[in-house]
Amino acid sequence: MPRVTYIHSSGERNEVEVPIGQNLMMAATGHGIEGIAGDCGGAMSCATCHVVVEEPFAALLPAPDDTEDQMLDYTAAPRQANSRLCCQIVMSDMLDGIAVRIADPQV
């Protein structure tokens, strides 16, 4: 099963298995990863699942759609070039090993 590493602002790392087809926000909340709130449940209306995707994986993701792009302008932590809402990152074999830094703060 593919894996994702969530990196906290403290440097702590949590690596978890994620089923193909599940988004990284659901994986984080399901595994009790602190820092990913996902208040809206993945509806792109809260921006509390803001992450910064590490290279080389950032280049493998499709560009954010207009709604995600707009929501990234309203995150609590400053938006970065590789900022994404992890509710919009769906696990695939291609993303096995992806690492994301959890934006701090989320709210």
CATH code for the domain in which residue 89 is found: 3.10.20.30
DSSP H helical segments within the chain, as ranges? 24-30, 66-72
What predicted TM-score, i.e. pTM, was given to this entire model? 0.96
* Residue range 41-65, pLDDT digits in tens: 999 999 999 999 999 999 999 999 9
- Please report, as a single letter, which amino acid is at residue 66: D
Considering the domain boundaries, does residue 11 fall inside one? Answer: yes
* Residue range 55-102, pLDDT digits in tens: 999 999 999 999 999 999 999 999 999 999 999 999 999 999 999 999
What is the structure's pLDDT at 107? 87
Considering the domain boundaries, does residue 43 fall inside one? Answer: yes
How many domains does the structure of the chain reveal?
1
Domain that holds residue 24: 3-102
Considering the domain boundaries, does residue 50 fall inside one? Answer: yes
Considering the domain boundaries, does residue 107 fall inside one? Answer: no
What is the structure's pLDDT at 72? 97
**3-class state of residue 48 by DSSP:** coil
* Residue range 1-41, pLDDT digits in tens: 999 999 999 999 999 999 999 999 999 999 999 999 999 99
- Please report, as a single letter, which amino acid is at residue 75: T
